[in-house]
A and B are shown apart, each in its own frame.
Chain A
Amino acid sequence: MRLKKNLALSDSGFVFDPSTGDSFSTNPIGLEIVKMLQTGKDADEIKAQVVKTYLIDEVGFEKDYYDFVNTLTKLKLSDGSPEKKD
């Protein structure tokens, strides 16, 4: 998936969507993922990055990742286009 381009992010995990005026709060790892999604990284790249940085294996992270991405869609933060490969 791709995120809306104009989301404003703060280092404290505050996410603002100027197109709706909604704001969101996310945890540090959530913020990292949002940032990676914004720069166009795909699921595999994000998974690799997270597994490198955190005490978690790929299987453990995978279901949390898809759950998170689903939530982003539910919160209408995706731009509606599918991810390039997945």
Chain B
Amino acid sequence: MKKLQYERPVIQRLNVGVMNKFGNKTEYSPVKHIEGNTVKSLIEKFGSPLFVISERIIRETFKDANRAFKTRYPRVQFAWSYKTNYLNAICNVFHQEGSWAEVVSGFEYHKALKNGVPGTKIIFNGPDKSEADLKLAIEKNSLIHIDHLDELYLIKELAVEMKKRPRVAIRINMDTGVYPMWDRFGFNYENGQAWDAINKIMLNDKMDLVGLHSHIGTFMLAPSAYGVAAKKLSDLALEIKKKYKKNIQYIDMGGGFASKNTLKGSYLQGIDSTPSFDQFAEAITTSILNAGFVENELPLLILETGRALIDEAGYLLGTVISNKRLSDGRRATIMDFGVNILFTSFWYDHKISPAQEFSRYTEDAVIYGPLCMNIDVIRENVTLPPMKRDDHVIVHTVGAYNMTQWMQFIALRPAVVMIDTQEKVHLIRSRETLASIEGNEIIPRYLEKFKL
């Protein structure tokens, strides 16, 4: 007799309100494949946990965003926000799609140069640009976005010293009706700081003010806030035109569009509540088009969209280590991945799917990672079918920020693979080894030996 597939026995109380003849049906279905590759084969080949990136989803998402803006506005340019995910293979997919690079540190700047992005197509943001960084960026004619007055004065000195006219923009923060306001970056619009910085640049005449930049926040759910920001930047550009007879070449709206993740504590699933690219594009382009620019002087519209372009293309595959019962009776499942590599579980209720068949019975569970720390919680409350040791799961929508903010804590960081548009798998970052971590360590001579 052929034996039946085993599933852990479970029983749970039905709440009268949600009771139906099917019992408690799980909202999830098993996901056994990612684009033609079984979860099992991926884990067998590359280990668990494993990040998987879908090149097809990146390209489709990019095309959708690009279409949303280009059908509404004549001049649009995306710049890939390196900090969101700077694995080179991923950056290069965006560069192949036509994205420039947006970087916020010397490290990222060098990465973009090394990937082959021309200096003139690198936007250099952020409060911490060293003198050496700035010299290089001036040399390469990059777009330097000034964050504070100290930087402004330093660039002015370097311009004189290097006998070059740096191409600069200023970062502007403002009240868009969304709180808390991000006012620690750049110059404030409402209190006149921004206009003051503009005057300092224009009157001193050592650099070219080519753009105006804002990045109003991240995971923004209100397209209207972008409408307000675009209006304020357009008004400034028109003021500059009026006072100095100079055209601002571009308006950079930064990033911040929400991805399809579900924010912690949010009642609605991200997939149902996230505005589309069309909604953001409509708000932004309507503001700029109606601001009063002469038709052939419309500024280039730059977007530094990060998470909304990459989140959905990323999956994390993992494996169940153990199940246990907490003192209050709740089920706890321990996975082989924790907040060390899934940093975004602090923000999101990530969707988790089992990667094998299960019956329609489910349990409420807490999902923990393997770190020996209390904060290592992946989901505080999730309804999943019973899983046993060595079963696999897929965590969805993890492409943004995890592969840059991951921590090397008590374990090695996992491999990352990319599935190309022909469903072929490519290793794009190998699993770390002890050597990759210890490579930079130095043991003083006298500490090399010990006896126990």
Contacts and interface: CB of A to CB of B under 8 A. Distances in A.
Contacts of A26: 9-12, 361
B41 interface: no
B21 A30 contact: no
Contacts of A64: 8-9, 388
B21 A71 contact: no
Interface residues of B, number: 23
B6 interface: yes
Contacts of A28: 7, 359
B11 A68 contact: yes
B12 A53 contact: no
B410 to A, nearest CB: 26
B3 A71 contact: no
A79 interface: no
Interface string A14-29: 1100000011111111
Nearest to A10: B21
A77 B12 CA distance: 11
Nearest to B11: A26
Interface string B294-335: 000000000000000000000000000001010001000000
A25 B11 contact: yes
Contact of A27 (B7, B19, B329): B7
A12 B211 CA distance: 66
Which among A25, A28, A30, A72 has the greatest number of chain B C-beta atoms within 10 A? A25
B23 interface: yes
Contacts of A68: 8-11
Contacts of B9: 26-27, 29-30, 33, 64-65, 68
A49 interface: no
Interface residues of A, number: 31
B132 interface: no
A38 B13 CA distance: 19
A35 to B, nearest CB: 12
A25 B5 contact: no
A30 B4 contact: no
B11 A29 contact: no
Contacts of B8: 29, 64, 67-68
Interface in A25-51: 25-30, 33-34
Given A12-B21, A70-B325, A27 B5 contact: no
Given A67-B325, A71-B329, A53 B361 contact: no
Which among A12, A55, A64, A70 has the greatest number of chain B C-beta atoms within 10 A? A64
A65 B323 CA distance: 13
A81 to B, nearest CB: 19
Interface of A: 12-15, 22-30, 33-34, 53-56, 60-61, 64-65, 67-68, 70-72, 74-75, 77
